[in-house]
Amino acid sequence: MFKAFFKKKNTIESFEDLNIPNHIAIIMDGNGRWAKKRNMPRNVGHKAGVEKVKTISKACSKFGVKYLTLYAFSTENWNRPDQEVNGLMDLLVFFLKNELTEMHESNVRIMTIGDLSRLPEKPRKTMENAIKTTENNDGLYLIIALNYGGRAEIKEAIKHIAQDVKDDKIKVDAIDDSLIENYLYTKNIPDPDLMIRTSGEFRLSNYLLWQLAYSEFYFTDVYWPDFGEHALLEAIKVYSSRQRRFGGV
172 domain-assigned: no
Give the total number of structural domains in the chain. 1
219 domain-assigned: yes
Annotated catalytic residue within 19, 22, 43, 77: 77
Beta bridge partners of 141: 67, 109
Annotated catalytic residue within 29, 31, 191, 193: 29
Q: How many whole angstroms separate alpha carbon 220 and alpha carbon 56? A: 15
Q: How many whole angstroms separate alpha carbon 95 and alpha carbon 67? A: 19
Q: Could you give the maximum distance between any two Cα atoms of the chain, in Å?
A: 59
Q: How many CB atoms lie within 10 A of CB 154?
A: 15
247 domain-assigned: no
Tell me the average confidence (pLDDT) per consecutive run of 10 residues in the chain, 249 residues long. Answer: 42 73 98 96 94 96 97 96 94 95 96 96 97 98 98 98 98 97 98 98 97 98 97 97 78
Assess whether 129 carries a catalytic annotation: no
Assess whether 221 carries a catalytic annotation: no
196 domain-assigned: yes
Query: For residue 37, what is the domain's CATH number?
Result: 3.40.1180.10
Q: For the chain, what is the radius of gyration of the CA atoms?
A: 18
Residue 68 belongs to domain spanning: 19-149+191-241
